[in-house]
Amino acid sequence: MRDLYPPIEPYNEGTLKVSELHTIHYEESGNPQGKPVVFLHGGPGGGTTPMYRQYFDPQQWRVVMFDQRGCGKSTPYAELSENTTWDLVEDIEKLRQHLNIEQWVVFGGSWGSTLALAYSQTHPDSCKGLILRGIFMLRPSEIKWFYQEGASNIYPDAWQEYIKPIPPEERGDLLSAFYKRLTSEDRQVRLEAARAWSVWEASTSKLIPSVTSKQRFAMAEFAEAFARIECHYFVNQGFFSSENQLIENIDRIRHLPGVIVQGRYDVVCPMITAWELHQAWQEAELIVIADAGHSVSEPGIKDALIRASDRFAAL
Ligand code: STX
């Protein structure tokens, strides 16, 4: 099994003002002369972590990572206005131009896969290929499964904690009930909802749960941006014009090399979504990991992603 490359530090960091309101933070690591790849993190609102650099051979790749609007080191923190899928798509394109990159490989898991599909379908000429993991297309069925009913049947214990901040009479529409609290003027109300929301995702992300990721997700600084931004995108149905938009537009990227890595026991983004994407895009390679859930850091997922990035480096 392949494991992560050794930890590295960025050779360049900066900020880019992308609108009147928002400034995004980006970094570059690896080889400045290497093949460019842009890493799209999850959530939306999850931010980047240094570990993500380690999915790429530092001799081969010029690794560009950035924190999407409102999260990580981007400012203003947890801000929801001027924060849509199409704003992020244009930010990626602005960053590419800012860094004088002609084309890059797009790498993204979970919401990062959603954004990778939206970006590449909007700007196919900027892309050399896609490496996707834990496919999420933000369709109503996917949101309902994870935040209303479905995953609740597999993790009733974690579910009980998730719904705690919401009184029984409001549980018929948990997304709206959370949105109301996550956008409350009262910081305590916001934080209680944010922690419950965020810990639910941490509790269900791995086939074998880990205590450390639950702790990170429960920290106020992480949870507030993550929960607010996710919920904002979900109540707005991802700002897509039709629920199958990313499948309907697959012809725009069909010619690009693509790899889809999917954990069989992914409870956050069940495999049906990866399957339907692959049915529409059979030229892409679908790699199903028999003993993994949703997380980027499970052994089988790591192995497949690193093998894929090694192969793409040689293209
Ligand atoms: N959201 C899934 C997602 O994109 C429905 C995601 N889940 N966890 C993450 O992202 C982080 C690990 C980036 C926090």
Query: pLDDT tens digits, residue range 150-198?
Result: 999 999 999 999 999 999 999 999 999 999 999 999 999 999 999 999 9
pLDDT digits (tens, 9 = 90+) for 63-94: 999 999 999 999 999 999 999 999 999 999 99
- Cβ of 42 less than 6 Å from ligand 1: yes
Nearest residue (by CA) to ligand 1, atom 1, is 43
Q: Which atom of ligand 1 is nearest to the CA of 44?
A: 4
What amino acid positions are annotated as catalytic residues? 110, 266, 294
Domain contains 188: yes
Dist. CA 123 → ligand 1 center (Å): 24
Same domain flag for 105 and 160: no
Same domain flag for 129 and 152: no
Domain contains 80: yes
Same domain flag for 265 and 227: no
Same domain flag for 243 and 212: no
Structural domain total, the chain: 2
Q: What is the CATH number of the domain that holds 301?
A: 3.40.50.1820
Same domain flag for 175 and 64: no
Dist. CA 33 → ligand 1 center (Å): 30
Query: Of 219, 238, 257, which residue sits at a domain end?
Result: 238
Same domain flag for 71 and 166: no
| Domain span including residue 297 | 12-139+239-313
- Cβ of 41 less than 6 Å from ligand 1: yes
Dist. CA 241 → ligand 1 center (Å): 23
Same domain flag for 132 and 259: yes
Query: Of 214, 238, 262, which residue sits at a domain end?
Result: 238
- Cβ of 268 less than 6 Å from ligand 1: yes
pLDDT digits (tens, 9 = 90+) for 268-310: 999 999 999 999 999 999 999 999 999 999 999 999 999 999 9
Same domain flag for 111 and 255: yes
Task: Please enumerate in sequence order all residues whose Cβ is within 8 A of that of 233, keeping only pairs 6 or more positions apart, or say none.
Answer: 44, 84, 85, 111, 138, 239
